[in-house]
Chain A
Amino acid sequence: MSLSDKAKLQFMKDLGFPALASLQKAMRGKRAPRKANPDFGPPLKCTARLKEIMTRHYYLARFAPGAKPVAWVTSGAPVELLRALDFYTIYPENHGALCGAQKMGPELCQVAEDEGYSADLCSYARVDLGHMLSGKTPAGKLPKPDLLFCSNNICQTVAYWYKVMAHRLGVPLVMFDTPFNYTEISQDDIDYMVGQVKDMIPVLEKAAGKAFDMERFIQVAELSRAASELWGQCLETMKARPAPMTIFDAFVHLAPVVSLRGLPVAREYYEILLAELLDRARSGIGAITNEKKRLMWDNIAIWYKVRDFSELFASRGMNFVAATYTNAWAETIQHLDMSQPLESLAKTYSLVILNNNLEHRLNLMAKMVSEYAVDGLVVHSARSCKPYSLGQYDLKRLLSERLGIPAVVIEADITDYRYFSEEQALTRLEAFFEALEAA
């Protein structure tokens, strides 16, 4: 790490970005405001702050190399280990969602496919490979990593995707292997995971150029826990009728807990978001103006359709008040216990929804249906995400049978809209609306 690079990053952080942000704000002020859609309540005030945080994160990333060690990390990896060593982290999945929302998925996927990667691979992986091969990104420029860090608690694809990147970029890969939880987690599983953490620390230290400090780690883990708990409380405000935000909002406000958790900014952000949501709930301000039915979403967002879907559902008086996806970053945080830092870290990260059995998922969904007073279930069968999409038809059938709620499956993809058929999806959704309205 060089002193001049460190000074440059600090300068951009303190002066460069704030100047840029105020310039952008001034430019925005000149544009005519978008016409308000009467189906929606007043927009969340926090959104401006969220945009600033995420823009700043991606903007400063380009000044990180040389000033800080840089790591590319999977969404479910125990990033607290890296934060304790002051890594600047980039989340290819978050970047993939960004590319998806900007409708760049097919273009970047095609780059990866032209290089020989299968079109059946996860589109986050293809977008990431496509970005690596072409340099194309809506985020300006992503810094080259010094280290890759992945955990297979979300899928096995990441293990191979990150191996390909490690090979092509010539940087070390650290993988955290989490045994799948078939019934319950055993002490052997925990010992195995703790052993891995102990083994990886020297590798992380080498890439970071500094020593791992347990006290610093515990501070970071506390910050992480605070952000996740606050995020969970934000989601819980949606139990209110009308719900103060929609899951489509939550898909966006999820970004800090995914990619900035363990940093003070994530905790601070969720403090202000929670305060705003509680205030809205108390004042009866709904995300949509006419909340007739309350829905639950399963699986990752369809990033290029978030806006269209949010308008479609709002126009029918339907609000998504819960999702297994957004819940995933709050679901297991209660396991984190600083009296047993590494053991509890292993538990927190290995018991996430995608590394847990279907019975668990069924019970979780049933619980959410009752706690959030859900009237219907929309299941996104995502072509990219095999672990998330496996078992969905059974889950849907069992939930319909047990709870008597209508459910619909729509087939799509998270970013690659070549796998989305608008007319077919809309017909399914319309039929679902008709069934809900008749119920």
Chain B
Amino acid sequence: MSYYAGIDVGSLSSDAVIVDAAGGIKGWAVTETGAHSTNAASAALDKALERAGLRPDQVAYTVATGYGRAAVPQAGKKVTEITCHALGAYTLFPEVGTVVDIGGQDSKVIRLGENGKVVDFVMNDKCAAGTGRFLEVMAAKLGVTLDDLGRLSLGAEGEVAISSVCTVFAESEVVSLVAKNQPIPQIIKGLHRAVVNRVAAMTGTTGVREQVIMSGGVAKNAGVVKLMAERLGVEISVPDEPQIVGALGAALLAAREDAV
């Protein structure tokens, strides 16, 4: 039996997925990228193999994706995160029409055709607003963990508007809101709104076709997902592990590549 690996080296996390020849997920891992993306890729792969109970030599082919894809020595092929996310989402949700992925340093909207083919995509421009990094910076400033953002915002009574679209200026805006004793959950909801508006604007150019899937680390934030669904006027489905959609797509491509 041959196994296939997909490794997604992003700006914040490096993720790996191992699949068998039939595309079934055997193991996966999410690790921090840190300063050395080659090490991070290996660490993610080792962890995923360990969970799958497999040895490295049992992996027949590896595909790398993400911004650090060039620094993955194990990879036989490098494919962009657009193609990988589309395939990963299509495999998990065969009815998918739109993928909204909000990762650490970039966000993207991918519109898919009937057969899972990429019809159009948009990525954020040279700005961290509307990305996971934006929320990470703000969580640190507010003294809450990233994981708590969603829960806190869902309990907010009301919302404080964040006017700045720039991560750096929004940070000072948050400092001044805290100084004015604005409740933290309401500030968080305002921050989520800022991210959602930024990303939803990208759907204006691609169009939205249902079913809509959210992936990336930020999809774990229920507060953002709820606001996004309201903003787009659609229901949004989130995979159980939204961070591994890209790596899953890469692993599935590795399986295809080997079959060729």
Contacts and interface: CB of A to CB of B under 8 A. Distances in A.
Interface of A: 393, 396-397, 400, 407, 409, 411, 419, 421, 423-424, 427-428, 430-431, 434-435, 438
Given A393-B205, A411-B126, A427-B80, A435 B67 contact: no
A91 B67 CA distance: 40
A400 B126 contact: no
Interface stretch (B21-29, B114-122, B147-155): B114-122
Interface of B: 67, 79-83, 106, 117-123, 125-126, 205, 207
Which secondary structure dominates chain B's binding surface?
mixed
Interface core residue of A400, A421, A428, A438 (most chain B CB under 10 Å) = A428
Given A411-B126, A424-B125, A427-B80, 15 more contacts: A393-B205, A396-B205, A400-B119, A407-B120, A409-B122, A411-B125, A421-B126, A423-B67, A424-B123, A424-B126, A427-B67, A428-B123, A430-B80, A431-B121, A438-B117
Contacts of B82: 427, 431, 434-435
Nearest to A407: B120
Contacts of B205: 393, 396-397
Given A397-B205, A430-B80, A435 B123 contact: no
Nearest to B68: A423
Contacts of B120: 397, 400, 407
A398 to B, nearest CB: 11
A403 to B, nearest CB: 13
Contacts, number: 44
27 contacts: A396-B205, A397-B120, A397-B207, A400-B119, A400-B120, A407-B120, A411-B125, A411-B126, A419-B126, A423-B67, A424-B123, A424-B125, A427-B67, A427-B80, A427-B81, A427-B123, A430-B79, A431-B80, A431-B81, A431-B82, A431-B83, A431-B118, A434-B79, A434-B118, A435-B82, A435-B118, A438-B83
A432 to B, nearest CB: 9
B159 to A, nearest CB: 30
Contacts of A427: 67, 80-82, 123
A393 B119 CA distance: 15
Contact of B80 (A397, A409, A434): A434
A397 B79 CA distance: 24
Contacts of A435: 82-83, 117-118
Of A396, A411, A421, A427, which is in contact with the most chain B CB atoms at under 10 Å from its CB?
A427
Contacts of B121: 431
Contacts of A397: 120, 205, 207
A438 B82 CA distance: 13
A356 to B, nearest CB: 23
Contacts of A419: 126
B44 to A, nearest CB: 20
Contacts of B126: 411, 419, 421, 424
Max chain B C-beta neighbours (<10 A), residue from A396, A421, A431, A438: A431
B64 to A, nearest CB: 12
